[in-house]
Structure 1
Amino acid sequence: METEPKENSDLLRKRNKIEANGVLSTDEPKGPADGGIRAYSVMIASFLTNGLLFGVINSYSVIYTVFEKHLREDGVPNAESRAALVGSLSMGTTFFLSPVSGVLAGIFGLRLTAVMGGLIASTGLLISSFAEYNVNVLYFSYGIMYGLGASFAYTPSLAILGHYFKKHLGMVNGIVTVGSSIFTVIMPPLMEYMIRNHGLAWLFRLLALFTLGIAFCGLLFKPIPLIIVKPTREDDTFKSMLKTIVNVEIWKIKQYRYWALSMPVALFGYFVPYVHIKTFIQSNFYNVNENLPLQCIAIMSGVGRLTFGFIADKPGINRILLQQISFYVIGCLTIILPFIKIFGLVVFISLCMGLFDGAFISLIGPIAFQLCGPSYAAQAIGCMLGLAAAPLSVGPTVAGYLYSIHQSYTLPFVLAGISPLIGATLMFTIRLKNVPSSHQSANANGVARPPSAIHVEQPPGQLLRNGQANQQTNL
């Protein structure tokens, strides 16, 4: 159905038909609650969803070392790149299918999409437990199937937040995304304990049980009915459905287009340290805590998500500039990393990388809401992550291949660090736009917005006040 927000507040006082998760109701539309038991329950569910999903994905280096060693002992050629591909496929598929997740969320609702994601991801891990050293099976079960489920659950876990929070949306995004940092600290020692005492198969079964909890979290993702539905004729149904599936409106927003196309370049080397840092430590240092750098990244990433999420809510803050700074710092530190010979400095670099990694992650949701508005946030996030999927998958695999040739992480880490620098530089194109007319000029957190091409009755500037969008509609 076509949906249109109404600029005149008087219209909101009348009882209108509204739609939530595809179900028509006669309740009056309400804005984000910004608190209450229901809102905080959704925040906790999103926190657990992010933690469980990315706690597994980010801790793949623990599985990688065992898997790579087993493949090498079996004489499998290119064992390093093959083992790395399993983990990078899960990350890449998670992001590559995010546009599909956004479409499904629009058709079936955020709640059902998230529940399906939890069930699919859990099933993928369970299948992996019966073929723990079969690389071809793991490509599908751990790489593609788990990534598919993670994608279906991840995008709704971010999009649902805009239904319950407005004033503190940046801070709430920071709290939710810190879940992956906390679980990335907890997961590696737990995974090592399971592998050492029960084997890789039982580790996959335990992770499958944990991941099943994502389906239960998804049950809480019930959107607040905010969209005012404009009555449509029966012959418009097919056209409306087609517009839902093939949504080109967000790509007419110039700032979003430049941001979304810059991100894949910046993220080419993002996952490389997560996959290879443990092997890098094993190759260059002795009698040290091999998991400590990864845990440091995770801990400080949590601090960064909370800190920058809080900062992003402040009036006049340029969220996009903050994200650019984070990419510049991460890129420089990744380039420096292979030249460090003192383990203490590696730990310090890991702490700094984690801090700015948290900045990048916590700003994805708020920037998407800022550029495209709440009604298109899920698809905006999904499309951007979908574009980033291929670089995220290819980066760690290329790094593993280069290491197998040179037996050194110098070239892989340098290349991984260059990509965020290029991506951050490309994001300056977001500021290359025509000067808007007086009635179109608006400012959202320090970033002037051009008129949106989304067909709404309210001016697409969305009457931005005090650095926050006046959001009258949502997903």
Structure 2
Amino acid sequence: MSSSQQQWCNYIRCLFRPTKRLDGGWSWTVCIATFFMFIFHNAARGSFGVLYIGLLQRFTNDTSQGNNTATNTSDASCDTRDSGGISGTTAAIGSLQTTMLCVLGPPSAQLSSRFSVRSVIIIAAIVYSLGIYLTTYASQVWQAFLTYTFLAGLGSGFIYTPLSALLAFYFFKYLPIASALSISGKQVGSAAFTPIARWILRDYGLNTLILSHTILALAIGLIAILVRPPPSPPQTPSVDATTQEQPQQAVITYWAILKHRRFMLWCFALSFHFFAYYLPTYHLIRYAECSLKIHNSQSGLLLTYHFISAAIGGIGLGALASRIRNRITLQAFTIFLNALPNFFFPLYKTYAHVAIYSVVTGILMGTIILNVIVCRDLLGSNAAMKGYGVYNSIAAISVTFGPMLAGWLYDIFQSYEIPFVIAGGIDLLASILMFISASASAMECKADQEDPLPSITRPPVGLTWIESTV
């Protein structure tokens, strides 16, 4: 074997060896890999507002919109009063896929523990791309539900939770900063791809846009190869290695997580917030085009502003979270601030107003980067991935009905003002519940005494999902 071949073999073997330590070395390579995987994952999901317009055209016109011809999306029907709720039903294609993403949190965490995060993400990326590709043949709503919602949602669900909780196994001291950097990839992907998606839909048609989403999904599986196993748990030296076995780490059960009262209150508060979280992503472009009569060359930029601001806000909140001990209070305050722009939504009558709304809500949207940090704070590193899966499952109902309800209300009232004002009220309720969770000091003290979950005052040990080495 030549020296160059030997070098390549060493590179390949390196990809199967566990990283050596937390907060350094290959951990930052994994952080960069998750950043790009979030970019490609959310480039498809974050631009659903554009795909939504193309699907709505296809299902309302029921003519030649199913072929791969360019369409003038500015001529999309905005009057859906007598359409039988087609706006809400089409929005359900995307919102139910997000529901799949949430519901599959616990099983995806369990599979990642049983096998490896890398293998689960690679297989899920193949399923995700297949479901998106088959949507090109969907000419009716129920067919899109089978392909884009169910099959693509199955793949997306087995990607999202392991990917979101991944860095808790590679970082301890720098987890807030690393999480902010990696999760900002979600906003970067959405911001970068939304105007591109608008251009593809306008000039090349819906099927070409769906094929571009397929390529993005396949790229996730390729980048997942870089996710080496996390550091091995430190071994406690025994007094007599020949006669005494190493102590085993207790397995954290879902039942123990469900009994953690402060964590569950935080989960329910976030579930209310997710009623309003995806409204701009799904409906802001259509509001600009149908209600404000803004040309599609400008309306597509609204989500770009939104997601760029979210990336900046996420990094800023991550840096702030590294200096604040009670991250739940910080998250509650950002959700409270997010309620205010929605309350004033009826006053936004120009493009400048809506653009400012996009920027402000985008910055506050960065609060999502705190989720995995709060999970780690409340449950410990060992239970962070399972806790993240529980939180996603609880949020599934809100993620499902938020965009759908907004679409149905638009079909009834032919206005988006009522759905966004309602979203502001729900965000206010979510912030109140989260403030209660943050200020429940008596309950926290009792939980610290009774809670069987591990402490987070030390680096994570006893990882149960370490990949086998070669």
Q: TM-score of the superposition, structure 1-length normalised?
A: 0.81
- Where does residue 282 of structure 2 map in the other structure? 275
CA contact (8 A) 1:339 1:410 kept: no
Partner letter of residue 453 of structure 1? D
CA distance in 1, matches of 2:85, 2:286: 15
- Where does residue 171 of structure 1 map in the other structure? 177
Q: Point out the more displaced range, 111-120 or 405-414.
A: 111-120
Q: Of the candidates 193, 214, 217, which is equivalent to residue 187 of structure 1?
A: 193
Deviation at 1:219, TM superposition (A): 2.4
Partner letter of residue 143 of structure 1? T
Structural mapping, 1:72-471, within 5 Å: 72-74=60-62, 77-131=84-138, 133-227=139-233, 247-288=254-295, 289-314=298-323, 316-358=324-366, 360-430=367-437, 431-434=439-442, 450-451=448-449, 453-454=451-452, 460-462=454-456, 464=457, 469-471=458-460
1:58 aligned to 2:67?
A: no
CA-to-aligned-CA distance 1:307-351 (integer Å, 9 cap, x gap) = 11111111x442111111111111221221233113212211211
- Where does residue 70 of structure 2 map in the other structure? none
Q: Of the candidates 42, 65, 71, which is equivalent to residue 59 of structure 2?
A: 71
Q: Point out the more displaced range, 149-158 or 283-292.
A: 283-292
CA distance in 2, matches of 1:327, 1:88: 21
Change (3 A) 1:403 1:247: same
CA contact (8 A) 2:59 2:140 kept: no
- Where does residue 75 of structure 2 map in the other structure? none
CA distance in 2, matches of 1:302, 1:435: 34
Deviation at 1:163, TM superposition (A): 2.4
Partner letter of residue 440 of structure 2? L
Secondary structure, aligned partner of 2:137: coil
Partner letter of residue 395 of structure 1? G
Alignment RMSD, CA only?
Answer: 2.6
CA contact (8 A) 1:47 1:176 kept: yes
- Where does residue 237 of structure 1 map in the other structure? none
CA distance in 1, matches of 2:287, 2:176: 35
Secondary structure, aligned partner of 1:166: coil
Secondary structure, aligned partner of 1:219: helix
Partner letter of residue 409 of structure 2? L
Partner letter of residue 414 of structure 2? Q
CA contact (8 A) 1:31 1:472 kept: no
CA-to-aligned-CA distance 1:378-409 (integer Å, 9 cap, x gap) = 11111101111111111111110111011011
Q: Which runs of no fewer than 5 residues in structure 2 stay unpaired?
A: 1-15, 63-81, 237-247, 465-470
CA contact (8 A) 2:269 2:430 kept: yes
CA distance in 2, matches of 1:70, 1:436: 52
CA-to-aligned-CA distance 1:116-154 (integer Å, 9 cap, x gap) = 2211111111111222x3211111211122222112111
Secondary structure, aligned partner of 1:129: helix
Deviation at 1:287, TM superposition (A): 4.4
Deviation at 1:196, TM superposition (A): 2.6
CA distance in 2, matches of 1:153, 1:326: 27
CA distance in 2, matches of 1:435, 1:298: 37
- Where does residue 233 of structure 1 map in the other structure? none
CA-to-aligned-CA distance 1:222-243 (integer Å, 9 cap, x gap) = 332434699xxxxxxxxx9xx7
Q: Which runs of no fewer than 5 residues in structure 1 stay unpaired?
A: 1-22, 231-239, 441-448
Partner letter of residue 372 of structure 2? G
Secondary structure, aligned partner of 1:399: helix
CA distance in 1, matches of 2:450, 2:190: 38
Partner letter of residue 35 of structure 1? G
Sequence identity (%) = 25
CA distance in 2, matches of 1:199, 1:229: 57
Partner letter of residue 282 of structure 1? E
Deviation at 1:452, TM superposition (A): 5.7
CA contact (8 A) 2:328 2:435 kept: no
CA contact (8 A) 1:162 1:474 kept: no
Change (3 A) 1:452 1:162: farther
Secondary structure, aligned partner of 2:376: helix
- Where does residue 46 of structure 1 map in the other structure? 34
CA distance in 2, matches of 1:81, 1:128: 19
CA contact (8 A) 1:59 1:188 kept: yes
Q: How many residues align?
A: 416
Change (3 A) 1:330 1:435: closer
CA distance in 1, matches of 2:428, 2:444: 30
Change (3 A) 1:405 1:226: same
Secondary structure, aligned partner of 1:255: helix
CA distance in 1, matches of 2:228, 2:168: 12
Deviation at 1:433, TM superposition (A): 4.5
User: Which structure 1 residue ranges, 4+ long, deviate > 3 Å from structure 2?
Assistant: 225-230, 469-475
CA distance in 2, matches of 1:435, 1:425: 17
CA distance in 2, matches of 1:412, 1:173: 32
Q: Of Structure 1 and Structure 2, which has the larger fraction of its residues in helix?
A: 2
Deviation at 1:434, TM superposition (A): 2.7
CA distance in 2, matches of 1:42, 1:436: 33
CA distance in 1, matches of 2:365, 2:32: 21
CA-to-aligned-CA distance 1:402-433 (integer Å, 9 cap, x gap) = 11011011111111222111111111332325
